[in-house]
Amino acid sequence: MIAVIDYKAGNLTSVVKALRYLGAETQVTQDPEVVRSAAKVVLPGVGHFQATTVLHELGITEAVRESVAKGTWFLGVCVGLQWLFEGSTEAPGIVGLGHFAGMCERFPALFKGAELKSPHVGWNSLENIRDDSRLLKDVKSGGFVYYTHSWRAPVVSATAAVTNYGGAFTSVVEHENVMGVQFHPEKSSAVGLQVLKNFVEL
């Protein structure tokens, strides 16, 4: 069973629909005990990083820590990826899970002397895909996925793919059983479905 965490942040319904389309048994939950007992956990999210305070209030942050420590597969989507880092300048007082080092920051207003539009919305390509990535199995560098975000995660040792917009940022992060995607796989056509399929089949 895949526990899909509901913290009232955006794209929950479309993610669940895509997982069920792939044949996954899902349970939408705000219950830490369901998170602890699930085979896999998905944290979707659209909107402000501030929304992740609910995860602390519900006791889900600690449940995720315990689940991850015992090897449960975890996938964060969009804000769910950003939450895996130490925090975000979007909500400076809110602490992320801290599984990966670094802070998420807003896209720069200027890049190479030209104005950079923010949010970054639309299709962009995955580059530098790590050969050992299980989440990106059968996904080729250059494949296009759909984005809508104004904050981005830094490139770190666990980065499994980057996307270039105002410089490179982490589009996919993956270390052992913990994974995250900045794009919306449920809106990313065949590439997005392949990513979700890979996660379901882990």
What is the percent of the chain with per-residue pLDDT over 90, rounded to a whole number?
96
Q: How far apart are CA 4 and CA 199, in angstroms?
A: 13
DSSP, collapsed to helix, strand or coil, labels residue 99 as coil
For the whole model, what pTM was predicted? 0.97
104 labelled catalytic: no
Q: How far apart are CA 182 and CA 178, in angstroms?
A: 14
Average pLDDT on 178-197 reads: 97
pLDDT surpassing 90 at residue 113: yes
Q: How far apart are CA 51 and CA 46, in angstroms?
A: 9
Set 99, 120, 149, 184: catalytic member: 184
pLDDT surpassing 80 at residue 10: no
The per-residue pLDDT for range 56-83, each reduced to its tens digit, is: 999 999 999 999 999 999 999 999 999 9
Average pLDDT on 147-152 reads: 97
Predicted pLDDT of residue 89:
98
66 labelled catalytic: no
175 labelled catalytic: no
Set 78, 120, 149, 174: catalytic member: 78
Q: Which residue bears the tokens 């270390």?
A: 175
Set 90, 104, 174, 186: catalytic member: 186
Predicted pLDDT of residue 9:
78
Predicted pLDDT of residue 8:
82
Predicted pLDDT of residue 45:
85
Q: Which two tokens stand for residue 90?
A: 């979007």
Angle 189-200/12-21 helices, nearest 10 degrees? 70
Q: Which residue bears the tokens 């989440």?
A: 135
pLDDT surpassing 80 at residue 4: yes
Q: Which residue bears the tokens 């980057």?
A: 162
Predicted pLDDT of residue 179:
98
When the pLDDT of each residue in the chain is averaged and rounded to a whole number, the result is: 96
